[in-house]
Amino acid sequence: MKRAWILAAALVSGIATAAAFAADAPAKAAAASLSSGEVRKVDREAKKVTIKHGPIDNLKMPPMTMVFRVKDAALLDGVEPGTQVRFRAEEADGGYLVTRLQKTKAK
Ligand SMILES: [Cu+2]
């Protein structure tokens, strides 16, 4: 009886590990598609942010400083000139739209 319990516990922990691994994979893929940059200017009302960014692989864009529109003004919460960020930008309506933005943790 005791052995059956040990087996069951091993099985459950194995499933939990597999689930955690599966959940981790898309998160890693998403992180890989983020670009890094430094915020230069924030215009919350116009929902615009100026970012001095590194290469943006998904847009095949070299490093530069440019203005992006942001999908949601809330993305700019706590963001100010000098803030280091990682962000996701996409082409939309003939311009560039930031759909995700997170502060880079200070090292
Ligand atoms: Cu650019």
Mean pLDDT value of segment 92-103: 94
Tell me how far the alpha carbon of residue 74 lies from the centroid of ligand 1, in angstroms: 22
Task: Kindly report, residue by residue over 26-74, the tens digit of the pLDDT.
Answer: 555 555 589 999 999 999 999 999 999 999 999 999 999 999 999 999 9
Do 54 and 28 belong together in one domain?
Answer: no
Q: Which domain holds residue 15?
A: 1-32
Q: Is the pLDDT of residue 18 over 70?
A: no
Residue 38 burial (CB count, 10 A): 16
Please give the pLDDT value at position 93. 85
Do 27 and 46 belong together in one domain?
Answer: no
Asked whether the whole model's pTM tops 0.75, one would answer no
Rounded to whole angstroms, the maximal C-alpha distance in the chain is 67
Do 96 and 68 belong together in one domain?
Answer: yes
Do 64 and 81 belong together in one domain?
Answer: yes
**For the chain, what is the domain count?**
2
Mean pLDDT value of segment 81-94: 95
CATH number of domain containing 74: 2.40.50.320
Q: Which long-range contacts does 62-67 make (Cβ < 8 Å, 24+ apart)?
A: 65/40, 66/96, 67/41
Tell me how far the alpha carbon of residue 60 lies from the centroid of ligand 1, in angstroms: 9
Tell me how far the alpha carbon of residue 25 lies from the centroid of ligand 1, in angstroms: 28
Please give the pLDDT value at position 33. 84
